[in-house]
Structure 1
Amino acid sequence: MDTPTLLAHLENHDTALTLPRGSTLRWDDADLHRAAHTDDAEGYALLGLAPGVRPWQRARVLLQILAASQAGLDEPARDVQARVARVLTLGLPPAHVITVLLALRRLRANHKHTTRTALRFVLEHPAADALIAARRPALLDCFEHALGTATARGCARRIDGGDTGSDYLRRRLLRFLTDPAAAADRVQALYRTTDTAPDTARDTTAPEAGMPDDPVLPDDPVLPDDPVLPDDPVLPVDTVRERPATITATNRGDIAATLVHLYRGGPAEDLYAALGRYVGAAAGAFPRFAGTVALVLDASASMRGYGDREWAVLSQAAALRMVLSQVCDRLEVIEAGGDERAPRGATDLATGVLDALGTDPDLVAVVSDGYENVFPGDLARVVASLPRAGITTPVVFCHALFTGSDDLTLRRPAPSLPQRGFWHQDDFAELLPWMFGHCDAGAPWLRAALHARLDVLDRQADGLAARLAA
């Protein structure tokens, strides 16, 4: 699995899954997802939880892990996929999940883990009652596909007749659920005819009496825009990031703000104490990276900035260096120009990269505002020559920005390098996985980070279930 390529795709490709009537499922990157799942099913599922992944890409990950057989997977991999599926059914907009479940019907995919996930979404989602009211035909289709039409209707007839726990219900329905007590009312709601329900026809072969008419549904019910449908996930996978209306040098995260005050001559003792706390808290959110990163830090005059932007960009670059110093087993810093406290001179990134490669790192990360003004184009030429010299160490370019919308037209000194921008401390949550994903030493780090993220989301899902049960 090419982790950097896949991660970049998950973060940038936001085309919706669609189910055109009478046509095949439109899934424009299916081959990429299937290949990644085949190569590493557990790692692929975890990548769906990486910070910054687009909702429709998370929906694709959910579709792939539910559509694929788990034959040949060990128990830990199956457990990860089950937990990721649970988190995603709660962490995606309900309409996305309904589309995924209808796509499984179109693909005729129905494994035990598929059945379990579908039934728990239809019958146990925190907003299940509202979802059934808004999308009854679609959810009925999902329910009948999960169990099989005959079995689903057989269970519904028994529930309608007052059966709450017979052997038939336990073996065919209740064993898939975590809250069997809530199933009866919702199964009845699925089969309840309303004024807006599709036309119905009596199943004359049914042996039980008193069962509501079985709906005759289209192949794939259309999902109309309905304000009754809850739009928001009940379990936010990504932290909501509040952005200031006006960006200044001191509202880009606690570490950078403290550094700006230090650079401007603030009370050093108190500020250094606060700085240590902020860096420790930020670094504590990441596992330890058991490798070497060589950081080429641009400390030229342009990094200082001027006016209201003075120290803003350099402070953010320094904040990244400080966090990496606590995350990495070994961090080699090569400054280009002056130094953090006295930025000066022009930018010579190419020499910095060559010096960085001499430290035998697992990864070289260039952190710069992108203005190369000693020998323009030199970094691009050096980078292009590395493979011909037999150097395979990955090199990435981290753009230090003032805002996320900076114009980088003249600030890409090596367009062939993998590049990513950052302007706020919150961006580190996406920046570090992207950086470490480019080197072999980063694979165990990324897996550990995503496992920790899954554990946190799993606990939040448990807490949500407990509150609903209470």
Structure 2
Amino acid sequence: MDTPTLLTHFRTHDVPLELSRGGEPVWDDAELHRSARLSDPEGYALLALVPGTLPWQRARVLLETLAASHDGLGAGTRATLAKATRALMFGLPPAYAVTALLAVRRLRANHKHTTRAIIAFVLEHPDADALIAARRPALADLFEHALGKSTARTCARLLAGSTRAGPAAEDAAYLRRNLLRFTADPAVACARVRALYAPGTYGALAPQEPPAPLDPVTEQPPVVTPTNRGDIAATLVHLYRGGPAAELRPALKGYVARVTRGLPRLAASVAVVLDTSGSMRGYGDREWAVMSQAMALRLVLAEVCERLTVVETGGTAQAPAGSADLAVALLDALGTGPDLVLIVTDGYENHLPGDLARVVVTLPRAGVTTPVVLCLAAFTRGDDLTLRDPAPELPRRSFWHQDDFAALLPWAFAHCGAGLDWIRTAMLARLEGGR
């Protein structure tokens, strides 16, 4: 599984998953998903939980994981896949999840894990009552696929005919054996099955629901300033401006600890080329904004990476000035023997423009295989970075707020050998409620 390529695809390929008139799922990247799942079923499912993954890509992972057989997988892997699929079903906007589950039904996938997942979605989703009212035919179709049409309708008939005291003993045994053993709350499940088969009208669920809770969304404020782009960067700005270090430095340490709490350590050597040129300082309303965000990333990396080397180019992190020689700094960073190099810059190559690109193209010819990625520090989410790409051959990603680190770190670490294990551990922690 090519983890960097897959993560990039997950955050850029925003094409809907559709059902054809004949009912077959239509998705142009089915082979990519299938190959990734076959190479590492658990790792593939966990990658879908990485912040920044698009909802339609998460829907595809849900479809691929539920439609595939779990025969031959270990108990631990099956448990992880069950947790991951539940997180995706309940975390996706409902319209996306319903589409993915209908695709599973059209493929006639009917494994045990598929049955449990569909029953959980129909009867245990936090918004199940609204979903049943809005999409009753679709959810009834899913419910009958999971249990079998005859069994599902028998359960519904027994529940509809039961008294206030509950169903008769024989009926109760049938319900336990065929339905309630799949549910966490039998009373709620029974009520929702009654609603699912109750007469009435239904509406259309809006195709775009609020953002999925799988990713905390950082709303860009109406006016972006150097001090409203995350607590770490804001504290650094105050330090750069001469604020009271005795008060600010302990606060800074606490903010870094909060961001990195629960994150695993990356068992690799990472080198950072840090642009400390005059353009990183900025001026006017943006003074210190970009430099503080780059320094925030540096502080987070220092806590997460087992071995971190920083090569500054230009002035210094405390006094950015002059021009940055990114090409020479990259060669110096590679000389430390790292497993991964991050070039953290605003993208303005103000010393020998084009030099970095020429060095990057030459490295493979010189036998250098160390992965190098470009992390572009921006002022806002909407910055135009078209002319801020000093090395088009390098993988690149921008960041403007410290909340972007949740997606930036997995993407960057995926380029080195230890990255997949780091992502796996971090996403397992998310599943367990750690983050």
Q: TM-score, normalised by structure 1?
A: 0.87
Amino acid at match of 2:27: W
Shift of 1:446: 1.2
Distance 2:186 2:61 in 1: 28
Establish whether residue 98 from structure 1 lines up as the match of residue 98 from structure 2: yes
- 1:241-280 equivalent positions in 2, closer than 5 A: 241-280=218-257
Shift of 1:419: 0.2
Distance 1:348 1:60 in 2: 43
Q: Which range is displaced more, 273-282 or 379-388? A: 273-282
- 1:349-360 equivalent positions in 2, closer than 5 A: 349-360=326-337
Amino acid at match of 2:329: G
Q: Residues 418 and 189 from structure 1, CA distance in 2 versus in 1: closer, same or farther, beyond 3 angstroms?
A: same
Shift of 1:286: 2.0
Unaligned 5+ segments in structure 2 are none
Q: Residues 142 and 306 from structure 1, CA distance in 2 versus in 1: closer, same or farther, beyond 3 angstroms?
A: same
RMSD between aligned alpha carbons?
1.9
| Residue matched to 2:122 | 122
Q: Residues 180 and 232 from structure 1, CA distance in 2 versus in 1: closer, same or farther, beyond 3 angstroms?
A: farther
- 1:156-167 equivalent positions in 2, closer than 5 A: 156-162=156-162, 163=167, 166-167=172-173
- 1:36-435 equivalent positions in 2, closer than 5 A: 36-162=36-162, 163=167, 166-194=172-200, 196=201, 225-226=204-205, 231-232=209-210, 236-435=213-412
* Partner secondary structure for residue 316 of structure 2: coil
Shift of 1:232: 4.4
Shift of 1:225: 3.4
Shift of 1:381: 1.1
Q: Residues 111 and 329 from structure 1, CA distance in 2 versus in 1: closer, same or farther, beyond 3 angstroms?
A: same
Question: CA-to-partner distance for each residue in 1:329-372, whole Å, 9 max, x for gaps?
Answer: 11101011110112122121010111001101010000011111
Q: Residues 23 and 283 from structure 1, CA distance in 2 versus in 1: closer, same or farther, beyond 3 angstroms?
A: closer
Shift of 1:401: 0.9
Given that 1:131 and 1:230 are in contact with CA atoms closer than 8 Å, whether structure 2 keeps it comes out as no
Q: Residues 296 and 231 from structure 1, CA distance in 2 versus in 1: closer, same or farther, beyond 3 angstroms?
A: closer
Shift of 1:398: 0.4
Instruction: Pick the structure with greater CA Rg.
Output: 1
Shift of 1:396: 0.3
Aligned length: 429
Distance 1:109 1:417 in 2: 41
Given that 1:296 and 1:367 are in contact with CA atoms closer than 8 Å, whether structure 2 keeps it comes out as yes
Establish whether residue 446 from structure 1 lines up as the match of residue 428 from structure 2: no
Given that 2:23 and 2:106 are in contact with CA atoms closer than 8 Å, whether structure 1 keeps it comes out as no
| Residue matched to 1:220 | none
Distance 1:93 1:441 in 2: 32
Q: Residues 406 and 232 from structure 1, CA distance in 2 versus in 1: closer, same or farther, beyond 3 angstroms?
A: closer
Amino acid at match of 1:276: K
* Partner secondary structure for residue 86 of structure 1: helix
Distance 1:11 1:173 in 2: 38
Q: TM-score, normalised by structure 2?
A: 0.94
* Partner secondary structure for residue 386 of structure 1: helix
Q: Which range is displaced more, 255-264 or 347-356? A: 255-264
Question: CA-to-partner distance for each residue in 1:56-84, whole Å, 9 max, x for gaps?
Answer: 11111111111010011111110011011
Given that 2:220 and 2:381 are in contact with CA atoms closer than 8 Å, whether structure 1 keeps it comes out as no
Q: Which range is displaced more, 180-189 or 39-48? A: 180-189
Q: Which range is displaced more, 176-185 or 27-36? A: 176-185
Given that 2:262 and 2:429 are in contact with CA atoms closer than 8 Å, whether structure 1 keeps it comes out as no
| Residue matched to 1:22 | 22
Distance 1:23 1:258 in 2: 55
Shift of 1:176: 1.5
Shift of 1:450: 0.8
Identity score, percent: 63
* Partner secondary structure for residue 456 of structure 1: coil
* Partner secondary structure for residue 271 of structure 2: strand
Shift of 1:377: 1.1
Distance 1:379 1:351 in 2: 8
Q: Which range is displaced more, 252-261 or 156-165? A: 156-165
